């Protein structure tokens, strides 16, 4: 165990990040010395220098967010089975001089969905509509697919959604041999004609993230399906335009702030080998609200 831990977050932009507060709370709960830095890297040409800090032991762990969750794979020595299936990493650790990529977004999402207890009947076949097809969407699709959910993936670039579905073709979905998923364009016409009525709509895009608080990924002139719950991976602001619209319509809605804490907890455990103090981590951002309606 090092005398002082050094963790960080790679991505761009990072002005919205609450991760330093969450990890500071985790370190303090275990009476550990350490810091959690932000690395807002805009140019991919600057990535090798940061990776070198990991290889040299100057950093003990790195989180990865938009837009590098897939790009960073090329810099790593190995991936966990989960990260390999998803095709995206959000957590990097150094083990025996090797850099290992993991994806804790999938586990973090499922943990928070379980906390919300929206779908207690796990045997009932459910359908989820994912907005976006980037790295976060891959993690959510993998997590739900493993639980037997049927998926519709909406993306502005349809080929990106198709690539996501192909990448998860080997995922066993519940008792089925493979994941059941379809792809549609991310536009009003396609969303209004989704073949299967969704039980859950998940925004995996950055639409609505601060400072663009008045933006919603859902078309303004299209009603959200009345039986659907809404989960927005955006957590700053914790009450997004999407969750506000859903809440005003009487629907269950939550931001991604709970998932943020859960994925951070899993990262902390990977880096330190210690149990994550989830209560303290949640409390560290309590001022930002629960994000649940």
**What is the C-alpha separation between 148 and 244, in angstroms, rounded?**
29
Q: Is 37 a catalytic residue?
A: no
Residues 21, 69, 172, 293: which is the catalytic one? 69
**Residue 208 DSSP code:** T
Q: Which two tokens stand for residue 39?
A: 């690395």
CA distances in angstroms from 222 to 153, 184, 192, 194, 225, listed in the order given: 18, 16, 7, 13, 9
The pair phi, psi for residue 289, each rounded to 5°, is: 90, 175
Q: Which strand (E) or helix (H) includes residue 130?
A: strand 127-131
Please say whether the beta carbons of 82 and 106 come within 8 A. yes
Burial zone of 195 (CB within 10 Å; 0-12 exposed, 13-18 middle, 19+ buried): exposed
Whats the size of the chain, residue-wise? 293
Write out the catalytic residue numbers.
69
């Amino acid at each position: 165990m090092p005398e002082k831990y050094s963790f960080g977050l790679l991505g761009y932009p990072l002005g919205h990040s609450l991760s330093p507060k969450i990890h500071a709370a985790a370190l303090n709960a275990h009476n550990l010395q350490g810091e959690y830095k932000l690395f807002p890297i805009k140019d991919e040409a600057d990535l090798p220098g940061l990776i070198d800090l990991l290889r040299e032991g100057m950093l003990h762990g790195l989180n990865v967010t938009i837009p590098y969750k897939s790009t960073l794979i090329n810099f790593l020595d190995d991936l966990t089975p989960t990260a390999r299936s998803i095709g995206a990493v959000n957590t990097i650790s150094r083990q025996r001089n090797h850099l290992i990529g993991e994806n804790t977004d999938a586990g973090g999402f499922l943990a928070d969905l379980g906390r919300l207890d929206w779908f207690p009947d796990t045997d009932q076949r459910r359908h989820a509509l994912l907005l976006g097809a980037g790295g976060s969407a891959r993690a959510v699709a993998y997590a739900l697919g493993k639980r037997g959910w049927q998926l519709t993936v909406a993306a502005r670039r349809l080929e990106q959604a198709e690539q996501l579905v192909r990448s998860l073709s080997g995922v066993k979905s519940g008792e089925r041999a493979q994941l059941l998923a379809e792809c549609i364009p991310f536009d009003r016409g396609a969303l209004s004609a989704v073949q299967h009525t969704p039980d859950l709509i998940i925004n995996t895009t950055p639409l609505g993230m601060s400072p663009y608080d008045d933006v919603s990924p859902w078309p303004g002139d299209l009603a959200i399906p009345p039986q659907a719950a809404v989960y927005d991976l955006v957590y700053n602001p914790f009450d997004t335009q999407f969750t506000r619209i859903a809440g005003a319509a009487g629907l269950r809605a939550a931001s991604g702030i709970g998932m943020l804490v859960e994925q951070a907890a899993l990262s902390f455990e990977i880096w330190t080998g210690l149990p994550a103090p989830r209560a303290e981590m949640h409390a560290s951002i309590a001022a930002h609200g629960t994000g649940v309606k």
